[in-house]
Structure 1
Amino acid sequence: MAHAHGEYYQPQPSYWPLIASFALFSMAASFTAYLNGVEIGKYLLIAAIGVLFFMMYGWFREVIRESEAGLYNEQVDRSFRWGMIWFIISEIFFFAAFFGALYYTRDLTLPWLLGEGAKGVAHTFLWPEFTEVWPTNGPQSVGGEFETMAAWGIPAINTLILLTSGVTVTWAHWGLKKDNRQQLIIGLFLTVALGFTFVGLQIYEYGHAMDELNLRFSSGIYGSLFYMLTGFHGFHVTVGSIMLLVVLFRSLAGHFTPKHHFAFEGVAWYWHFVDVVWLGLFIFVYWL
């Protein structure tokens, strides 16, 4: 059991970070193997995701028990807040790398291949017959012919869903600060429902993209970036929805007070971050 000594909090040694690292590494390795044609990779990926959810269950349970036992003080609260802030900052850079790849490919590389700019002379040697514009699927259409996903269909609906979920989670937060537990629970329920609805629509969108538009990972750099950006975002929405579901169950159990509810605030920060990333995806991947 962890111990609190005045202003200094000493947690017990934990194996959960090790399990989390193993799960994340296994997910990356198995997914990479699957993309390279290793059939067992998809089964290993499912197993790794299962380990990740097991870790979340175990680690959440441990932290909740310590919190409800009164072991956390102001020093712990500050530590949690800074930890969540740095985590979200790391996520910003994670998505910035993929947005940067999209910008580099579409706004810099394509003009060079068309012979524009100081580096445009290279197109004579690298790809002299290049005449396509964005999106491109490589020399001689090596990725196959495909269509892009229209912005004003499911993506627009999902945008409305996430923006609405940002309102409902904020409304739930107001209810908690006013000690209105009914408003808190209704707001959280609506947010969770909207989050999982978003994921369900995105799964349907992927099926439509692959079966009817022939848009796949192999569809050139556009296909790769499309699935990496939207797929990782969908994974973040899934994790965020699960965390909101945990917060909902805790609220039903009577946890949290108007002055002590960082677990709710931390998940709300994460959810607003997911909303902002999706707006960037909708504008730069679907719309432009």
Structure 2
Amino acid sequence: MGTEETHDDHGHHLPAVEDWPRGFGEASWWPFVTAVGGAGVYVAAALYILGRGEDAIVGPVVGPAAFVGSIALFLVGIYGWLYHAFVSHFWSRSASEKGESKLRWGMIAFLGSELGTFGALFGYYFYIRAGTWPPQELPHLLGSLVLVNTAILVLSSFTLHWAHVGIRQDDRKKFVGGLAVTLLLGLIFIGGQVYEYYEFIVHSNFSLTDGIFGTAFYGLTGLHGLHVSLGAVILGIVFVRALMGQYSAERHVSVSTASMYWHFVDVVWIFLVVVLYAGAEIGA
């Protein structure tokens, strides 16, 4: 490379490496930061287990502290990643069908990795499900709360699709209204899951450390709850940008990728309810 400084770097390429080849201005360390934060969640879970009991190897607060720090790092990485990919220089950057295709395929690849993560936990559940069942006394899982929560999440996929159709038709009122309703439904779902945890832990004495099924149940539902929370953050960013007047029928790639992610967590939840909630009570 020559010594002459160029300024065609969008002004937002940090924290990408300074000597990254020109033409790859989208390169960034933010995906790496996000991955480190995600990996830290699993490390925090291990530290939490190691910090329990009389022969604890680490202090009891080390695991929770590592979890909070990992989630913070994960969210910071996601924010930087999304800002770098979608927000910076939105007004000055022209629409590119090739660039949009890359971002959509990037989301598909990301969702593929998420399938692997969920698949590992489902594999653990299927392993324990194949043995003596039930492995312990189980609380009543398939109650009205989870059914209502499921209906809310499924409805949110329809309202998000309605909003997506709105922006593709350049109907901004339909687009913004659909986003607002979707975001509200997502927050209600998260609140319902927190309340469900409260009911199980306080009234049913069923917690994460309550046998191998407790580990599987809270591992799967907690991972899904984390993904819904992340989806709500993404939709919140899209909603704020929509209020600022961004997006049009020609430029809505981040709406498309956010929709892909949200529909993914919706489908995973339906599968989770059928396999974990309903399936756990079969043969119990």
- TM-score between both structures, scaled by the size of structure 1: 0.81
Does structure 1 conserve the Cα–Cα contact (< 8 Å) formed by 2:35 and 2:74?
Answer: no
Cα deviations across residues 39-85 of structure 1 (Å, max 9, x unaligned)? 22212211221222222233322331144331662222121111111
Does structure 2 conserve the Cα–Cα contact (< 8 Å) formed by 1:244 and 1:267?
Answer: yes
Secondary structure class of the residue paired with 2:256: helix
Query: Which residue matches 1:189?
Result: 180
Residue type matched to 1:58 in 2? G
Displacement, 1:88?
1.1
- Number of matched pairs: 252
Q: 4+ runs of 1 displaced by more than 3 Å?
A: none
Query: Which residue matches 2:208?
Result: 217
Q: Distance in 1 between matches of 2:69 and 2:117?
A: 24
What are the within-5 Å matches in structure 2 for residues 159-198 of structure 1? 159-198=150-189
Secondary structure class of the residue paired with 2:73: helix
Displacement, 1:13?
4.5
Change (3 A) 1:189 1:51: same
Cα deviations across residues 142-178 of structure 1 (Å, max 9, x unaligned)? xxxx542431221111101101101100110111111
Q: Distance in 1 between matches of 2:206 and 2:114?
A: 26
Query: Which residue matches 1:55?
Result: 77
Q: Distance in 1 between matches of 2:110 and 2:266?
A: 16
- The answer to whether residue 117 in structure 2 is matched with residue 94 in structure 1 is yes
What are the within-5 Å matches in structure 2 for residues 99-114 of structure 1? 99-106=122-129, 108-110=130-132
Q: Distance in 2 between matches of 1:28 and 1:56?
A: 18
Change (3 A) 1:41 1:100: closer
Does structure 1 conserve the Cα–Cα contact (< 8 Å) formed by 2:34 and 2:77?
Answer: yes
Does structure 2 conserve the Cα–Cα contact (< 8 Å) formed by 1:2 and 1:66?
Answer: no
Does structure 1 conserve the Cα–Cα contact (< 8 Å) formed by 2:37 and 2:70?
Answer: yes
C-alpha RMSD of matched pairs (Å): 1.9
- The answer to whether residue 33 in structure 2 is matched with residue 16 in structure 1 is no
Displacement, 1:20?
1.7
Q: Which runs of no fewer than 5 residues in structure 1 stay unpaired?
A: 111-132, 138-145
Q: Which moved more, 1:175-184 or 1:85-94?
A: 85-94
Query: Which residue matches 2:190?
Result: 199
Residue type matched to 2:88 in 1? R
Q: Which moved more, 1:152-161 or 1:22-31?
A: 22-31
Query: Which residue matches 1:77?
Result: 100
Q: Distance in 2 between matches of 1:161 and 1:204?
A: 15
Q: Distance in 1 between matches of 2:68 and 2:29?
A: 22
Secondary structure class of the residue paired with 1:109: coil
- TM-score between both structures, scaled by the size of structure 2: 0.83
